[in-house]
Amino acid sequence: MKYRIIHELPDRLRINLMIPKGSSINMDGINGIKGVVSASFNNKTGNLLIRHNGDGVVQKEVIGAIENAPLSLCLKKAIDLPERVRSQSGKGSASTPLENEFLTGSTLTRKKKSVIAAGARLIVSPLFPLPIRTAIALYGAAPFFKKGIKALLNRSLNIDVLDATAIGAAMGIGDYRTAGIISLLLKAGDYLEEWTKDKSRKMLTHAFQIGDEYVWLKNNGSEYMAKTSELKEGDIVVVRTGSRIPVDGVVIDGEAMVNQSSMTGEPLPVLKRAGLTVYAGTAVEEGVVVIKSQKVGSETTVSKIVSIIEGAGHLKADIQNHAERLADRLVPYTFLLSGLTYFITGNPAKAASVLLVDYSCAIRLSTPLSIMAGMINSAKRGAVIKGGKFIERLSKTNVFVLDKTGTLTEASPSVIDVIAFNGYAKDYVLRHAACVEEHFPHPVATAIVKKAKDEGLIHEEDHSKVEYIAAHGIASYLNGKRILVGSRHFIIEDEGIDDSCCKEIISMAASGGHSILYVAIDDKLAGLIVIEDPLRQEASEFIKRLKDYGVNKIVMLTGDADAAARNVAERLGITEYYSQILPDKKTEIVKWLKNSGNVVAMVGDGINDSAALAHAHVGISMKHGADIAKEACDILLLDGSLMSLIEAKNISKKAMDTIKQNFKYIVGINSSLIFLGIAGLSTPAFSAFMHNASTVLSALNSLILASHKDAALKKKRCKPR
């Protein structure tokens, strides 16, 4: 069997199998190889992923098994594989010429050859006597008859039945030339559809090209060349001017201007130097950087984007499902109209012209292409949308619910003051707060740990197991004393810690609009940690853009005190906000907004946002957010820029507009062809040609969306410091 190795890592192998689209393979032979941990196959992409024990012999055995396996023995279900090939499975027979065609060429090549052969038969058939012309016409029509009969046996009245009936009608009146022309045009349309799909796949590949085949690695001061497929986590990679970065990692040496347009849509290159993160698929335009690999192969951000887009077919938009169902329901009426045409006119040619026009092909091709093109364009601009239905929902969203910390404010807040009470020292409060907070993945926790480090405070791991209490704080035991770190609601109200001794100081600290974290030790208030949480640079512009796009309600949620929440809301022009709320309250607000007839998007980044994200029509998470939030979300903002979300909303609306536009064109053109056929102004051949032409044109119109740009949308990004 023909194959192509995509990634080859020490314990993992990803291979693309060159088999008919939609086929599945028999995994028993591969899973039976000793040392193979797991094997999975994606019949949409043709990719086979094998995880093994790291033994090179196992990898060779897997590749050998694939190389030596004839196609007919590997396929469990080959939709496009002719019966005479499948009937030989298991008999040990040599590969047939038709099977070799699958082995040596792609589906696109096979369909191209089919069109050329049909054209050649049409040209030479008039040179032969009638019996041979009949045989040639039957041979050319056989694939369509087979599909039509198969559909009828499956009790499906679809486009395959329409095509077979139209060709059969032409042959029934002895018009073999028209039957040949129809067969040629249908095959040409089939080829052009496959060409369009192939173009979309190539567009996806080019949009997120990961890197060159070979890379330069550095080890013990010397450089050597290696295959990209051999990269592993921790490798030191050197990338120079003109080369693509092959890994996600951190720059440890050098400086370079990096073009990140494939990831963020930024038109200008950005400066990358030591300490900054770079991503696979981006390109070095000028300079040299030395990168420590953190993610390689299928684990890189760009590879995951491609996987999301490739696998998003099961999350169809409602408009797509509706259009497909409508197109299928119209097929019986096409038959009815054709029958009435023949009954009224007695002209089989007019009846055949009606049969050759349908709405299903164009809708089924152009609609998913519009969705995929929108997803590609959005991902290139920094927002990964995980399915067609979320594109549709985002285009309709009229309410945005925004978490404050890490979403409207910077993901890197800072500690500006530590206030100690009841005999505790500032250093003691900060040291032990950092000791427990370092177990909690949140920007505020990171700020506390960083402050302790900057102050030179070493915190020993002398506490017991840390308990995280959602949206409240953290609890643990320190040398037998209970330590609590969290919100006022948690410390003062829930835990009943007395703050009467320092209410005035607390009030003064909170009045500045800063976030306050309370620390209690042994049932006493030990101190406050004052957090400065600056607004994102683009937050104000983001809110303005949302309003410009017709979002009629913007709600801010936060667990912070009212003073901090009010300060942010007033600065951003947000009139509705809720402070000091728990995760269940966030979820209740989202549900209430949904039940009020709104289409709700929720943007958040923390563990306490995950439930609300899951309940919103569209859940949106920042890249720096907690893993559970990123998993629960429907849209992930790769670069953390809120303006990426604005662009995603604009692209989503454009995708829906394109689908509706295509639908109007498809219905209009094909309905006109039906009436022309009934009136006798269109021949069956002309109807077939125009129908296929409209299908391909609608598909190409969908692909244009992948390069859609809006000059009005300009991101404001922070330059690296």
Longest dimension (CA), the chain: 111
Query: In whole angstroms, what separates CA 365 from the centre of its chain?
Result: 19
Pairing mode of beta strands 600-604, 618-622: parallel
3-state SS record for 530-579: EEECCECCCHHHHHHHHHHCCCCEEEEECCCCHHHHHHHHHHHCCCEEEC
Structure tokens at 89: 């499975």
> How does DSSP classify residue 95?
P
Nearest-angstrom CA–CA distance, 111 and 105: 10
Q: Which two tokens stand for residue 67?
A: 């190389």
Amino acid of residue 708: H
Measured CA to CA, the distance from residue 337 to residue 675 in angstroms comes to 10
* Angstrom distance (rounded) from CA 699 to CA 175: 32
Per-residue HEC secondary structure of 5-69 comes to EEEEECCEEEEEECCCCCCEECCHHHHCCCCEEEEEEECCCCEEEEEECCCHHHHHHHHHHHHHC
Structure-token pair, residue 134: 């009949």
Radius of gyration of the chain (CA): 31
φ/ψ of 686, rounded to 5, equals -65, -40
The Cα–Cα gap between 170 and 178 comes to 6
Pairing of strands 467-469, 600-604: unpaired
- Other Cβ atoms less than 10 A from the Cβ of 241: the count is 12
In 3-state terms, what secondary structure has residue 222? Answer: strand
From 175, 328, 403, 533, active-site residue: 403
Give percent helix, percent strand, percent coil of the chain, each to the nearest 5: 50, 20, 30
Name the token pair of 437.
Answer: 């907070």
What tokens appear for 515 in the block?
Answer: 């976030």
Check residue 215 and give left, alpha or beta (phi > 0: left; psi -120 to 50: alpha). beta
Q: Which residues share a beta bridge with 216?
A: 225, 238
The encoded tokens of residue 695 equal 């299908």
At 584, the amino acid letter reads: D
For tokens 């208030």, the residue is 525
d(C-alpha 467, C-alpha 477), whole Å: 10
Q: Is residue 403 flagged as an active site residue? A: yes
**Cα–Cα dist 463/466, whole Å:** 8
**Residues classed as catalytic:** 403
